[in-house]
Amino acid sequence: MFGRKKKLTDIFQDLPKAPVSVESQPREIRKSGKRAMLIPEGPYTDNPAADLLLANTGKQREIWLDIIFASQLRESKQAQIAKFLQDDYRVQKWWANSIALMYLKWRAQSKSSAADERLLRITSVIPTTSALAYNIFTASTIYGEGFNRFLKLVQDEKIIIGFSNQTRATLIFESASGNCNLLVEHEFLDDTAKRREATKYWQNLIQKIIYQVSR
């Protein structure tokens, strides 16, 4: 009467069971700070999708460009910019490097169509061929000692110079009927004094070059 009751068996245990589906492994997600960032497959890119960039970093392209532009690393290389984003903004490595590439691509573009009060544009006609004018302006000695970065881009007929006051100038050469049309775009001029100083600097330098090639 008080014996142990028999354990009831599941009446459905003899029925065939459906196979359990095994989901594919989710794409790797790593946490950095308070945000979990989806790591896309493939190498870093200078053109990440806008929706993924916002979802995984919390900021849009223009905001990241402004942040790097306003920092002390705006003239730095990819690795330095990426480290800055990882350390100061807790951006995952893949996204930090892609944002850095995105910024470098934007930085290299001509600002001719931009309406930026910090950008000084000076145009001039050098009475010599574009090739000779380019060779003259690649001589670093003509700029004095106030620059810290000198990059020559032969293919694009463009020279980029970083000055010690954290400003940057892009020189673009274009052939025109035996002469050379020169466009100088001097960036990061934050106040009127810097613009005035840069204007005087370029006018004097260009006049000096014109005098040399006209003799």
Beta bridge partners of 170: 160, 185
Residue 11, in any domain of the structure: no
Residue 6, pLDDT score: 57
Q: Which of 64, 83, 108 is the last residue of a domain?
A: 108
Residue 186, in any domain of the structure: yes
Residue 14, in any domain of the structure: no
Residue 65, in any domain of the structure: yes
Residue 58, in any domain of the structure: yes
How far is Cα 52 from Cα 207, in angstroms, rounded to an integer? 50
How far is Cα 122 from Cα 174, in angstroms, rounded to an integer? 14
Task: Give yes or no: residues 85 and 157 share one domain.
Answer: no
Task: Give yes or no: residues 129 and 102 share one domain.
Answer: no
Residue 16, in any domain of the structure: no
Task: Give yes or no: residues 40 and 74 share one domain.
Answer: yes
Task: Give yes or no: residues 102 and 183 share one domain.
Answer: no
Q: Which two tokens stand for residue 36?
A: 């979990």
How far is Cα 21 from Cα 141, in angstroms, rounded to an integer? 71
Q: Which two tokens stand for residue 145?
A: 């000692």
Task: Give yes or no: residues 102 and 131 share one domain.
Answer: no
Q: What is the distance, to the nearest Å, from the Cα of residue 176 to the centroid of all Cα atoms in its chain? A: 32
Residue 10, in any domain of the structure: no
Task: Give yes or no: residues 59 and 128 share one domain.
Answer: no
Residue 3, in any domain of the structure: no
Task: Give yes or no: residues 166 and 133 share one domain.
Answer: yes
As a whole number of Å, the end-to-end CA separation of the chain is 127
In terms of residue numbers, what domain contains 209? 120-214
Task: Give yes or no: residues 133 and 84 share one domain.
Answer: no
Task: Give yes or no: residues 88 and 151 share one domain.
Answer: no
Q: Which of 51, 77, 108 is the last residue of a domain?
A: 108
Q: Are 53 and 60 in contact (CB under 8 A)?
A: yes
Residue 168, pLDDT score: 84
Task: Give yes or no: residues 168 and 146 share one domain.
Answer: yes
Task: Give yes or no: residues 101 and 160 share one domain.
Answer: no
What is the per-residue DSSP string for 92-105? -HHHHHHHHHHHHH
CATH code of 161's domain:
3.30.530.20
Domain count, the chain: 2
pLDDT in tens, the chain (215 residues): 555 555 555 555 665 665 554 444 445 555 545 456 888 889 999 999 999 999 999 999 989 988 998 888 888 899 999 999 999 999 999 999 999 999 988 887 765 545 566 789 999 999 999 999 999 998 888 988 877 777 777 667 888 888 888 788 889 899 988 899 999 999 888 888 889 999 999 999 999 999 999 88
